[in-house]
């Protein structure tokens, strides 16, 4: 705030100096004034980094209060799931088990928890897509639905575009959502059985670390799917028990992800 006050003071002095200039000099000052005003407006409306991921217990308190309301005081709650084949519902390709995928498992649990709620599950996920492509259609195909909560799940496919490109795309989507006052929850990847979970430097681990850092920086929600499956592996369970094919969870695997999401909604 102190820095912004100094900028405002500078702007005030600048405007006072303009008053003392002749007409031609004033015209020359206009572009500089416009640049400063644009910078100020962007700095005030840009989401402020928080340094800690949002608490599951309180992040969606306003949404949970809406879910409790009965007709005619209630309204439709829009949950938008944006990502790749996993949230899209692909099990053993080309089979798509929409109702067993985690977005609809979340809906089932929500209806048990909030029987009077009207909830829209809006799935904008596309099988095979990465976050770079997802970002290009973010405004026209995602924000247009006016989500109350947005879930982003792209890390499995982001391995092919790399960490830097993925971070750029995730930042773009998170920033645009927060500017619209949308609650955002980021998901780390579910397993790919070709990846050695015991290798702490594997690609999925690297993308998970990046997603965790983004959640902390922006103060948004985090569903750490990767950590949940890793815990199962460390406990001696076979990851294949939770998978329908090498890189797609089965109903039991989707249930693990849905349960983590519901920690924000209970």
> What pLDDT does 51 receive?
82
Instruction: Please say whether the beta carbons of 189 and 228 come within 8 A.
Output: no
CATH 3.40.50.300 given to domain 61-262: no
What percent of the chain is predicted at pLDDT more than 70? Answer: 81
> What pLDDT does 46 receive?
47
Tokens read off for 128: 């095979």
- The three-class DSSP label of residue 84 is coil
Q: Is the pLDDT of residue 42 over 70?
A: no
Terminal CA-CA length for the chain: 36
Q: Is the pLDDT of residue 5 over 60?
A: no
Measure the CA–CA gap between 265 and 105, rounded to whole angstroms. 13
Q: What is the mean pLDDT of residues 143-151?
A: 98
Instruction: Please say whether the beta carbons of 63 and 77 come within 8 A.
Output: yes
Q: What is the mean pLDDT of residues 148-176?
A: 98
Q: Is the pLDDT of residue 10 over 80?
A: no
Whose structure tokens read 């991921």?
A: 53
Annotated domain spans of the chain: 2-45, 61-262
Instruction: Please say whether the beta carbons of 157 and 169 come within 8 A.
Output: no
Instruction: Please say whether the beta carbons of 173 and 214 come within 8 A.
Output: no
> What pLDDT does 91 receive?
97
Q: Is the pLDDT of residue 3 over 50?
A: no
pLDDT tens, 44-68?
A: 444 445 689 999 999 999 999 999 9
> Rounded to 5 degrees, what are φ and ψ at 191?
-75, 155
- The three-class DSSP label of residue 171 is helix
Average pLDDT, the chain: 89
> What pLDDT does 101 receive?
98
Q: What is the mean pLDDT of residues 252-260?
A: 98
Q: Is the pLDDT of residue 1 over 50?
A: no
Distances (CA, A) of 17 to 5, 25, 35: 18, 10, 17
Q: Is the pLDDT of residue 240 over 90?
A: yes
Q: Is the pLDDT of residue 155 over 70?
A: yes
pLDDT tens, 192-230?
A: 999 999 999 999 999 999 999 999 999 999 999 999 999
pLDDT tens, 99-119?
A: 999 999 999 999 999 999 999
Q: What is the mean pLDDT of residues 92-98?
A: 96
């Amino acid at each position: 705030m102190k820095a912004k006050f100094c900028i405002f003071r500078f702007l005030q002095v600048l405007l006072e100096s303009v008053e003392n200039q002749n007409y031609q000099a004033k015209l020359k000052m206009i572009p500089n004034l416009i640049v400063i005003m644009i910078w100020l407006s962007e700095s005030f409306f840009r989401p402020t980094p928080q340094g800690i991921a949002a608490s599951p217990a309180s992040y969606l308190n306003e949404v949970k209060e809406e879910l409790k309301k009965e007709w005619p005081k209630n309204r439709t709650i829009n949950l938008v799931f944006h990502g790749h084949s996993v949230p899209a519902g692909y099990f053993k390709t080309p089979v798509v088990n929409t109702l067993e995928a985690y977005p609809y498992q979340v809906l089932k649990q929500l209806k048990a928890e909030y029987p009077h709620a009207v909830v829209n599950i809006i799935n904008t996920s596309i099988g095979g897509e990465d976050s770079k492509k997802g970002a290009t259609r973010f405004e026209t195909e995602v924000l247009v639905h006016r989500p109350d909560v947005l879930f982003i799940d792209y890390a499995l496919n982001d391995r092919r575009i790399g960490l830097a490109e993925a971070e750029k795309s995730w930042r773009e989507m998170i920033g645009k959502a927060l500017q619209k006052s949308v609650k955002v929850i980021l998901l780390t990847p579910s397993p790919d059985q070709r990846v050695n979970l015991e290798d702490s430097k594997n690609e999925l681990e690297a993308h998970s670390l990046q997603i965790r850092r983004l959640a902390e920086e922006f103060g948004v929600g985090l569903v750490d799917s990767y950590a949940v499956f890793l815990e199962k592996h460390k406990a001696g369970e076979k990851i294949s028990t939770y998978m329908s094919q090498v890189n797609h969870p089965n109903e039991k695997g989707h249930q693990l992800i849905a349960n983590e999401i519901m920690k924000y909604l209970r």
